[in-house]
A and B are shown apart, each in its own frame.
Chain A
Amino acid sequence: RKEVEQDPGPFNVPEGATVAFNCTYSNSASQSFFWYRQDCRKEPKLLMSVYSSGNEDGRFTAQLNRASQYISLLIRDSKLSDSATYLCVVARRGTGGFKTIFGAGTRLFVKA
């Protein structure tokens, strides 16, 4: 089983729709959680960190459920420019140092 799992999608939604992605992680020692965005043939960029209390940044809301070991990303009022791959990232201390584990990503297509 992969340490970080995401539904690969693709999610095809119309402009203005609300879409949600989930990500599960298997290691309960995981400390930090992030959502990164990766456009086609570009590098990943941080979208938002995910805090225990949940956090919102404009149209984007991220939540963490430690008991069930999943994080979520909600995008409201989708824009064409939201089309990208969304990467769930989990970080923790490992035996030799720090480990950052990326999910395989969820692809989103927003259509006019």
Chain B
Amino acid sequence: ETGVTQTPRHLVMGMTNKKSLKCEQHLGHNAMYWYKQSAKKPLELMFVYSLEERVENNSVPSRFSPECPNSSHLFLHLHTLQPEDSALYLCASSQNPSPSYEQYFGPGTRLTVT
């Protein structure tokens, strides 16, 4: 199944690096999401975009910067990260951002900050 794809799948970066995570959905959905999943913790919703407009920002540090150039693509720009930012970053999409709709997840990017 390739409804939601994410690249890269693995990323190791130093604290002074700048990198970007990419997500693409092929489902014709209008809403896209970034989540963070740390070991032994629940998924944490970071950002929600609806039709390229950010509709939710859950107090995420500014070292994470999302970008949604169109309804099929979502980026997460990373700079000056901390080791505690090491986690699995999951992208998801849904038909629209209403709570009623199922979210489809990508395979995630496993990020390690050294």
Binding site for B on A (CB under 8 A): 2, 4, 31-32, 34, 42-46, 49, 87, 91-94, 96-105
B103 / chain A contacts, CB cutoff of 8 Å: 46, 100
Main secondary structure of the interface of B (DSSP, over half): loop
Determine if B100 and A91 form an interchain contact, defined as CB atoms under 8 angstroms apart. Answer: yes
A2 / chain B contacts, CB cutoff of 8 Å: 42
B45 / chain A contacts, CB cutoff of 8 Å: 99-102
Determine if B102 and A99 form an interchain contact, defined as CB atoms under 8 angstroms apart. Answer: no
A96 to B: closest C-beta gap in Å: 6
Determine if B90 and A98 form an interchain contact, defined as CB atoms under 8 angstroms apart. Answer: no
Instruction: Please report the C-alpha to C-alpha distance between residue A98 and residue B43 in the assembled complex, in whole angstroms.
Output: 15
- The answer to whether residues A102 and B105 also contact, given A31-B99, A43-B90, A94-B56 and a CB cut-off of 8 A, is no
Binding site for A on B (CB under 8 A): 33, 35, 40-45, 48, 55-57, 90, 97-100, 102-108
Determine if B97 and A97 form an interchain contact, defined as CB atoms under 8 angstroms apart. Answer: yes
Determine if A98 and B42 form an interchain contact, defined as CB atoms under 8 angstroms apart. Answer: no
Partner of A92, one of B43, B97, B99: B99
- The answer to whether residues A97 and B56 also contact, given A43-B90, A92-B99, A105-B42 and a CB cut-off of 8 A, is yes
Q: Could you say which of B42, B55, B90 has the most chain A C-beta atoms within 10 Å of its C-beta?
A: B42
Partner of A43, one of B44, B102, B105: B105
Instruction: Please report the C-alpha to C-alpha distance between residue A96 and residue B41 in the assembled complex, in whole angstroms.
Output: 24
Nearest A residue to B107 by beta-carbon distance? A43
B49 to A: closest C-beta gap in Å: 10
